């Protein structure tokens, strides 16, 4: 675990640097908040989420795991098939197929993929640096004690007593067209 000091505030690093070609994301833990850092080129953007303001940590599994678990070996098999007729380029083509199989194995070992958000009363921010279920569990195990220390522990019974727990709400179906009038005509 690495740490950084900014002024009088000490931060602990909760995630590695993750991102794309254009932007990198990290999340740090302060004494009373989380700090999400987004870096685009030479510009850094900071967002603070105070523990007493966090309402939810949302984790949704994504289909990326299954898609890549199927596509990588299929692409690799196609490359090996092309390698059969590659002649002098056969070692290169087969090497490319082996590299794809290694990526596939690493993908399988890293585990299920997900998308994560932190929700406050006014904001819902996607945590781009948390892309695997294992990382989301690790993140939750790190921040959950801090959230309980600040907000207290809630149970479903407490939520029902306060009226904040809503159980399986099904919205009303849209009105059904009735009568012999034309669609779009006002019903009387």
Rg, the chain, Cα only: 25
Q: Any residues with CB less than 8 A from the CB of 158 and at least 6 apart, and which?
A: none
Provide the pLDDT for residue 166. Answer: 56
Q: Are 142 and 29 in contact (CB under 8 A)?
A: yes
How confident is the model over 142-157, as a mean pLDDT?
Answer: 84
- Look over the chain and give the mean of its residue pLDDT values, rounded to a whole number: 81
Q: What is the pLDDT of residues 27-65, one digit of tens each?
A: 888 888 999 888 888 888 999 999 999 888 889 999 989
| Percentage with pLDDT > 90 across the chain | 24
B/e letters for 147-171, b = 16+ CB within 10 Å, e = fewer, are beeeeeeeeeeeeeeeeeeeeeeee
The upper half-sphere exposure of residue 88, i.e. CA atoms within 13 Å in the direction of its Cβ, equals 0
Q: How confident is the model at residue 108 (pLDDT cuts 50, 70, 90)?
A: very high
How confident is the model over 97-109, as a mean pLDDT?
Answer: 93
Lowest mean pLDDT among 12-21, 35-44, 110-119: 12-21
Q: How confident is the model at residue 187 (pLDDT cuts 50, 70, 90)?
A: very low
Provide the pLDDT for residue 188. Answer: 45
Report residue 123 as tokens.
């904001």
How confident is the model over 86-97, as a mean pLDDT?
Answer: 81
Mapped to the 3 state alphabet, what secondary structure does 35-95 carry? EEEEEECCEEEEEEEECCCCCEEEEEECCHHHHHHHHHHHHHHHHHHHHHCCHHHHHHHHH
Task: Say if domain 3-62+113-153 classifies as CATH 1.10.10.
Answer: no
Q: How far apart are the first and last CA of the chain?
A: 69
**Integer Cα distance of 52 and 50 in angstroms:** 5
Indicate whether 177 pLDDT > 60: no
Lowest mean pLDDT among 28-32, 75-79, 151-155: 151-155
């Amino acid at each position: 675990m690495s740490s950084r000091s900014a002024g009088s505030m000490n931060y602990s690093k909760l995630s590695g640097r993750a991102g794309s070609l254009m932007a990198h994301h990290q999340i740090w833990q302060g004494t009373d908040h989380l700090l999400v850092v987004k870096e685009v080129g030479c510009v850094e953007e900071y967002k603070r989420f105070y523990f007493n303001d966090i309402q939810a940590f949302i984790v949704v599994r994504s289909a990326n795991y299954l898609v890549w678990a199927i596509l990588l070996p299929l692409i690799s098999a196609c490359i090996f098939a092309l390698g059969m007729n590659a002649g002098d380029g056969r070692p290169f083509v087969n090497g490319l197929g082996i590299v794809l199989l290694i990526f596939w194995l690493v993908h399988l070992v890293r585990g299920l993929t997900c998308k994560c958000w932190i929700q406050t009363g006014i904001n819902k921010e996607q945590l781009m640096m948390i892309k695997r279920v294992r990382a989301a569990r690790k993140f939750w195990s790190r921040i959950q004690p801090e959230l309980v220390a600040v907000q207290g522990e809630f149970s479903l019974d407490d939520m029902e007593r306060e009226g904040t727990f809503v159980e399986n709400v099904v919205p009303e179906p849209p009105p059904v067209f009735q009568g012999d009038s034309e669609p779009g005509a006002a019903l009387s």
